[in-house]
Chains A and B, each alone.
Chain A
């Protein structure tokens, strides 16, 4: 049973996760504080330890003694692993022959990760290096005393802390918290790097001229928006957000809104333009040390197109991508003194639209899909550019994602080809055969990740209903039993259900939410989602009404995965014998069939292959239906004879029917093979078309 780590995460932006050198995982989405998962605890923690702020914290010398001089002191928070936060601002007090420094009003932290405080003090007269004076192993004590002499403080066994390193770099205050406005994290050269300042535009804003109050409708006001900027889209005026009210879902601007009152204003909340082309990074080996000045910018172009989307590590460099361009970032030890070199004018659609493929990075931007070798981009999707331009719904591109499947030598880009919020389709590319195809899924697939399973990498996919699915060659339903029938006879049907004979699933959950398809008989070709399946009665409820209600002539398949293959357009050879085709398939061990359709002369609709119903051996055509249906089961029954070892080869004449026309009028011919795969994999070895070129 999975462990619930949090129940209140923001969901308007996908998260980015990075494994650190400490084997913790940092999680960022740009809409809330970066979180940390140590892999063991049952809850997420805030990444980074809060900055120590003095407030009323005071150290005062007293009680007669031998200590004299000006002493500097400060404190910081630590967690239960001793990971520290940044040191507070130095304060000082002068001792005049005294013995005890009393610390009072020691601040506590509201962050539950804080498990203690450390108070550091200098030796007399210097503020370059401090030493651990008091260790408090709780987050509640508010006072403490120390009588340590300079000799005790500076003992080599005591913890010491330089304010700045000998080379002048910041030291004591390097332990900052990760930036909460950046939505992408990646690891490189022993550092965690953050990029991709996230703009928030969900819903609309109610803005009133002369009022500082902005109400967000259909979006969620988060506490991290405090201090960010607010824009009404189409206006150049930018306002600082002074405070937020997460209960009322309102923002309060630092000044009154000066634009036109609008009850339905499209808006953006963002960190500030200076963060749009910025990357931030940690101290090496310290994934939770984010000093605020440790940042670099790529060239100044603050148009929305040139906002940094993400970055990735590849071939010992870091590549930083905007929507339309990729830069190579090189640095030796210090990222702050590295250089950016523009590479190709190709970028990334979002922070999840890239994956590693052998010696390349497969990426997707608005122009399409390309393979990037670190210097040049190979625009492999040019051959399908029309498809991408016309079919992809770019509106929800934020949720597109990429997956690399080495075992299949395939990359898949999950996109929306309909108006759904999350991708229900993928554009697939086999980088060995250079073939393209697209896939449709019965559910949204909103995320993916590669995991080691046994000895190889497998892809896991994020499905609906909190399902995590593993990709495989077979239809993979939740808790699917592998011995479901290949196909079921329909004994009854209503608009929103079908009754299957001899139901053999044990529980409703075995088949619920999976697909069901009518593969033969009345209603053939319809597919629906199962929303209920009674294992006793065989009644299967579906999500949407049948267009053509099945009857007792119908056969259904549970867990059916549709497939479709289309050939190129052939030209019929003049004077050749009548065209025909020859199929070679792997015979299936269970009932299965596939359909062949025939398109003449670039028609959009398939040709009726028969003016009357006819069957011969492995195939049959049905009057009024365009397809020829082929039985591809290993056991074939022809009349009274049964062949239990069909060889998988069948020939089919294409001259039947032609809508009443003679074959001489057929100039161009295209073949489609389609069907539903479930119990057995359908393998088409060959499709030979005679009389064409």
Chain B
């Protein structure tokens, strides 16, 4: 499935329901893994383990939902172009795979969203300090 176009710094959803050959949701032998490849087939970054979501959730038939997912922030390694997400999971030693695709269309800022902010006076002017999704803390002076 093609997701959409993103810019660097956006967070993309990585998610799957681990199913067996019959299509029945089944807990895998270990956490599924997502690998992201660019259009030339080169893997970008390292494998991404997907944690389980809603561990004890059940569908109407009482089956564990087996839903794994997390968000992944596109860092500066992602140039403009099309990418493929390859999901892998193993059930009883059998490997299963599925794919997603997305495009990166804009350079953006790899540091992502500003998740915390504070404002305070400093000896050199009023400052705004903020934290980003990438783990940076920055301080700017004299807003606007």
Contact string against A for B residues 101-144, beta-carbon threshold 8 Å, 1 for contact and 0 otherwise:
00001101101111111111111101111111111111110011
- CB-based contact A37/B114 at 8 Å: no
Given A264-B55, A541-B106, A543-B6: A468 and B117 interface contact (C-beta under 8 Å) = yes
- CB-based contact A452/B116 at 8 Å: no
- CB-based contact B140/A466 at 8 Å: no
- A623–B109 alpha-carbon span in the complex (Å): 45
Q: How many residues of B contact A (CB 8 A)?
A: 54
| A185 to B: closest C-beta gap in Å | 10
Q: Does A139 contact B (CB under 8 A)?
A: no
A-B contact number at CB 8 A: 198
- A465–B115 alpha-carbon span in the complex (Å): 11
Given A8-B135, A446-B114: A460 and B124 interface contact (C-beta under 8 Å) = no
Given A9-B137, A463-B114, A468-B130: A40 and B123 interface contact (C-beta under 8 Å) = yes
Query: Given B9, B52, B70, B128, which contacts A449 in the complex, CB threshold below 8 Å?
Result: B128
Q: Does B50 contact A (CB under 8 A)?
A: yes
- CB-based contact B30/A462 at 8 Å: no
Task: Report chain B residues within 8 Å CB of A219.
Answer: 51
Q: Does B11 contact A (CB under 8 A)?
A: yes
Main secondary structure of the interface of B (DSSP, over half): strand
Contact string against B for A residues 430-471, beta-carbon threshold 8 Å, 1 for contact and 0 otherwise:
000000000000001011111111000010101111111010
- CB-based contact B106/A37 at 8 Å: no
Given A204-B52, A447-B115, A449-B117: A466 and B5 interface contact (C-beta under 8 Å) = no
Q: Does B76 contact A (CB under 8 A)?
A: no
Q: Does A265 contact B (CB under 8 A)?
A: yes
Given A444-B113, A447-B116, A451-B128: A465 and B55 interface contact (C-beta under 8 Å) = no
| B74 to A: closest C-beta gap in Å | 11
Given A9-B135, A37-B139, A447-B116: A465 and B128 interface contact (C-beta under 8 Å) = no
Which of A444, A466, A496 has most chain B Cβ within 10 Å?
Answer: A466
Q: Does B86 contact A (CB under 8 A)?
A: no
- CB-based contact A460/B128 at 8 Å: yes
| B103 closest partner in A (C-beta) | A496
Query: Given A9, A264, A447, A543, which contacts B114 in the complex, CB threshold below 8 Å?
Result: A447
Contact string against B for A residues 8-36, beta-carbon threshold 8 Å, 1 for contact and 0 otherwise:
11110011010100010101010000010
Task: Report chain A residues within 8 Å CB of B6.
Answer: 531, 543
| B53 to A: closest C-beta gap in Å | 9
| B121 to A: closest C-beta gap in Å | 7
- CB-based contact B127/A39 at 8 Å: yes
Q: Does A513 contact B (CB under 8 A)?
A: yes
- CB-based contact B105/A544 at 8 Å: no
Task: Report chain A residues within 8 Å CB of B50.
Answer: 217-218
Q: Does B71 contact A (CB under 8 A)?
A: yes
| B49 closest partner in A (C-beta) | A217
Task: Report chain A residues within 8 Å CB of B126.
Answer: 451-452
Q: Does A516 contact B (CB under 8 A)?
A: no
Q: Does B75 contact A (CB under 8 A)?
A: no
- A29–B50 alpha-carbon span in the complex (Å): 24
Contact string against B for A residues 231-247, beta-carbon threshold 8 Å, 1 for contact and 0 otherwise:
00110000000000000
| B122 closest partner in A (C-beta) | A39
- CB-based contact A462/B117 at 8 Å: yes
- CB-based contact B112/A465 at 8 Å: yes
- CB-based contact B118/A25 at 8 Å: yes
| Chain A residues numbered 188-217 whose CB sits less than 8 Å from any CB in chain B | 202-204, 206, 217
- CB-based contact B7/A468 at 8 Å: no
- CB-based contact A513/B106 at 8 Å: yes
Q: Does A290 contact B (CB under 8 A)?
A: no
Task: Report chain A residues within 8 Å CB of B108.
Answer: 465, 513
Q: Does B36 contact A (CB under 8 A)?
A: no
Q: Does A266 contact B (CB under 8 A)?
A: yes
Query: Given A19, A40, A234, A531, which contacts B7 in the complex, CB threshold below 8 Å?
Result: A531
| Chain A residues numbered 508-564 whose CB sits less than 8 Å from any CB in chain B | 512-513, 531-532, 541-544
Which of B6, B27, B116, B127 has most chain A Cβ within 10 Å?
Answer: B116
| Chain A residues numbered 483-507 whose CB sits less than 8 Å from any CB in chain B | 496
Query: Given B112, B120, B128, which contacts A19 in the complex, CB threshold below 8 Å?
Result: B120
Query: Given B27, B52, B120, B136, which contacts A6 in the complex, CB threshold below 8 Å?
Result: B136
Which of A4, A19, A496, A531 has most chain B Cβ within 10 Å?
Answer: A531
Task: Report chain A residues within 8 Å CB of B55.
Answer: 204, 233, 264-266
Task: Report chain B residues within 8 Å CB of A40.
Answer: 122-124
Leading 10 A-B pairs by shortest Cβ distance = A218-B51, A462-B114, A39-B122, A17-B118, A203-B51, A2-B140, A2-B138, A465-B109, A15-B116, A449-B117
What residues of chain A have their CB less than 8 Å away from a CB belonging to chain B? 1-11, 14-15, 17, 19, 23, 25, 27, 29, 35, 37, 39-40, 44, 202-204, 206, 217-219, 233-234, 263-266, 399, 421-422, 444, 446-453, 458, 460, 462-468, 470, 496, 512-513, 531-532, 541-544
What residues of chain B have their CB less than 8 Å away from a CB belonging to chain A? 4-7, 9-11, 27, 29-31, 49-52, 55-56, 70-71, 105-106, 108-109, 111-124, 126-140, 143-144
Q: Can you add 13 more A-B contacts, CB < 8 Å, to A35-B137, A449-B119?
A: A4-B137, A23-B121, A23-B123, A29-B116, A39-B122, A39-B124, A203-B70, A217-B49, A219-B51, A448-B117, A466-B114, A468-B140, A541-B5
18 inter-chain pairs at a CB distance below 8 angstroms, sorted by A residue, are: A2-B140, A3-B139, A7-B134, A10-B135, A29-B116, A39-B121, A203-B51, A204-B55, A217-B50, A218-B70, A422-B113, A448-B117, A462-B113, A462-B115, A462-B116, A466-B111, A468-B143, A544-B4
